[in-house]
Amino acid sequence: MKVLIVGLGQIGMGYDIQLDPEKFVYSHARAFDHHPFFHLSGGVDPEQQRREAFEQTYRCPAYPEIETALRDQTPDLVVIAAPTQLHCQTLLQILKICRPRAILCEKPLSYDLDEARTMTKACQDAGVSLFVNYIRRSDPGAVEVHRRIEAGEIGTPVKGVVWYSKGFLHNGSHFFNLLEYWLGKMLNWKLIDRGRNCDGIDQEPDVRLSFEKGNVVFLAAREEDFSHYTVELLAPNGRLRYEQSGRQIQWQQALRHAELKNYTVLDDRIENIKSGLDRYQWHVAEQLSRHFNGQKGDICTAADALLTLENMHRILEHGQ
């Protein structure tokens, strides 16, 4: 399947261009270039330096404009890796010119809820599948946690804490979407602190969320101090720690204390659940390939992403 990438910035191409391709797959370009089901056929970016780097690295053409690219190519999959503010106009521009089988859009769909709804409906009307690049939904470690919760191996209800930074919608939505995947629908919320405005676009609130399978508090860290993205869930039968943005996932079983009667403690032995975040974008490509082959794919659909965005906007707009 031919893939065209619109936007050759960090997630489009830059994150891993200087890294060992055998160990790291952080960008769309490397993922679709390496995956055997896909053929990376081109890129689009207004910056000449990026286009030249793309052509030199991936040996396929890069274009300054979408129109030029789509006159020259008929991609099966278009990746929108442009800045969030441009997602909607980019998607509508693509659909005016062609009908790819699918579009993979960076998260969030938009900062504007009406735009996100417009994007979703436009793809529905055009018969184009729309997916959103919430990478953790496709990571084998997160998928295994989901399986264990569904199977009752990680008990519910849980109580937990999430640390996020760099904007509730921009980065917090990664973990909001992940918690919806693990714990089911959001039922209600309570705003603890509105927090500060982030870059004049996004906010960083502290908020208590109730999901079908437990309650979690989201707390905003200070990105300028250091990056810190973690999830800790306390289940009736143990503790799950999702550390270093998900690169380290650990489970500790609850058990009876060996000497003290009626005391239950966490086992000293820690089980490491294997994460695949060093190759996160490859896993997204793999799940997309499963979808195109008629199999169940663990990937965030437009409906999933829109629900995440609607819930987060309810919190930001109403805050109660």
Q: How confident is the model at residue 201 (pLDDT cuts 50, 70, 90)?
A: confident
Least confident window among 15-19, 106-110, 194-198, 283-287: 194-198
Number of helices and strands in the chain (H, E)? 9, 15
* Residues with Cβ within 8 Å of residue 127, at least 6 apart in sequence: 99
> Quick one: which of 246, 284, 242 has its CA closest to 154?
242
Q: Where are the domains of the chain?
A: 2-134, 140-275
Q: How confident is the model at residue 319 (pLDDT cuts 50, 70, 90)?
A: low
pLDDT of residue 261: 79
pLDDT of residue 198: 81
What angle do helix axes 87-97 and 113-126 make, rounded to 10 degrees?
20
pLDDT in tens, 211-252: 999 999 999 999 999 999 999 999 999 999 999 999 999 999
The mean pLDDT value of the chain amounts to 96
Residues in the chain: 320
Cis link prior to 157 (omega < 30° from 0)? yes
239 bridge partner residues: 234, 252
Superfamily grouping for domain 140-275: Dihydrodipicolinate Reductase; domain 2 (3.30.360.10)
Q: Tell if the pTM clears 0.85, that is, is over it.
A: yes
CATH class belonging to 2-134 = alpha beta
For residue 190, is pLDDT > 80? yes
Write the CA distances from 139 to 72, 142, 144, 181, 268, integer angstroms: 34, 5, 9, 12, 26
How far apart (Å, rounded) are the C-alpha atoms in residues 194 and 205? 4
Choose between 150 and 320: higher pLDDT. 150
Least confident window among 129-143, 189-203, 212-226: 189-203
Q: Pull the structure tokens for residue 222.
A: 């200070």
For residue 12, is pLDDT > 60? yes
pLDDT of residue 320: 44
CB 208 within 8 A of CB 217: yes
Backbone angles phi, psi at 107, to 5 degrees: -90, 155
